[in-house]
Amino acid sequence: MGLIRKTTSIGTFGLVRYRSKAERLQRANAELDRAQRKLAEATTAAETSRERARKAERRARKAEAKAGLMAQQRRTRRWGRKRLAGLANAASDAASTAASAVTPG
């Protein structure tokens, strides 16, 4: 921060640059470092969000598969109950038919 340079720049209405070459280089390097840090943070955030999305998709697929399996089991149980009820009714009808055939009437 050369005071003479700053004064000369103001006195010559900008003919002499306000900042020296070393100061401009230092500022440029600092800006580059900030940009690289931001890029690294953005990359890390993107990777994290991709991993979270992958995990969420995996959980969703598992939940869908489980729901499908449970629905299938429910249908099977329902079908089984209906079948058993039908068999029980048929057996009951056959028993009553057989009982009425045996009983003199």
pLDDT tens profile 18-62: 778 888 899 999 999 999 999 999 999 999 999 999 999 999 999
pLDDT at 105 over 60: no
Domain boundaries, the chain: 21-91
Name the token pair of 21. 């070459």
Q: How far apart are CA 55 and CA 81, in angstroms?
A: 38
Instruction: Fill in the amino acid letter for 82.
Output: K
Helix, strand or coil, per DSSP, at residue 104 = coil
At 97, is the pLDDT very low, low, confident or very high (cuts 50, 70, 90)? low
Q: Record the pTM.
A: 0.48
